[in-house]
């Protein structure tokens, strides 16, 4: 809950910074998801199953919101702007599918209180996320920032809004 408030505060206080780079909200959300993942892993490692369940669910919800924001907003805009539909965005979608599968495997291990299975799958997911984020942050996001500069204002607001909605509790 505290990280959600921190994320909301960041979005409120840094709107101009976020709009200076179209993909800045996605960079920040990567870090937010990384923190949630670390918290979930720590709870499982401590065999605190009662705490682990909601932490894993929060992580999965945030990561899915991140994937959907990219797949439904950023990638289509990039593909329309550049004409590249079989390139980097196709690879990112493929990796998203791999990570979704790993999250499903983690959930199965969690439901069975199988800490070692969870840890093994979590390690694979961590490596994949690190490699994936490096590709996005160092290759795809700069390409998006350049090719979508004319749409940066409206797309940036949409990206921020979707990620903001994912991070705030729903009443």
Query: Which pTM was predicted?
Result: 0.85
What is the C-alpha to C-alpha distance for residues 153 and 139, in angstroms, rounded to an integer? 21
Which residues in the chain land under pLDDT 70? 1-20, 168-171
What values do phi and psi take at 41, rounded to 5? -60, -40
User: Longest C-alpha distance within the chain, in Å?
Assistant: 50
DSSP class of residue 139 equals: I
Distance CA 69, CA 9 (A): 20
Q: How far is CA 134 from CA 39, 95, 148, in A?
A: 21, 13, 20
Integer Cα distance of 154 and 157 in angstroms: 5
Radius of gyration of the chain (CA): 16
Separation CA 6–CA 72 (nearest Å): 25
Give the whole-angstrom CA distance, residue 95 versus residue 9.
Answer: 30
- List CB contacts of 49: < 8 A, sequence separation 6 or more: 43, 110, 113
Q: For position 15, what pLDDT does the model report?
A: 43
CA end-to-end span of the chain, whole Å? 13
Provide the pLDDT for residue 164. Answer: 87
The confidence score (pLDDT) of residue 165 equals: 84
Contact 118, 109 (CB under 8 A): yes
């Amino acid at each position: 809950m505290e990280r959600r408030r921190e994320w909301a505060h960041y979005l409120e206080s840094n709107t101009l910074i976020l709009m200076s780079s179209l993909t800045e909200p996605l960079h920040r959300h990567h870090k937010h998801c990384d923190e949630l993942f670390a918290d979930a892993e720590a709870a499982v490692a401590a065999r605190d199953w009662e705490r682990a369940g909601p932490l894993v669910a929060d992580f999965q919800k945030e990561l899915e919101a991140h994937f959907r924001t990219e797949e439904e907003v950023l990638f289509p805009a990039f593909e329309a702007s550049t004409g590249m539909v079989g390139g980097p965005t196709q690879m990112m979608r493929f990796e998203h599918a791999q990570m979704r599968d790993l999250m499903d495997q983690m959930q199965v291990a969690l439901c069975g209180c199988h800490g070692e299975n969870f840890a093994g799958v979590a390690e694979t997911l961590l490596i994949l996320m690190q490699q994936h984020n490096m590709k996005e942050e160092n290759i795809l996001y700069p390409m998006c920032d350049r090719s979508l500069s004319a749409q940066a204002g409206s797309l940036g607001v949409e990206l921020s809004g979707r990620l903001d909605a994912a991070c705030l509790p729903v009443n």
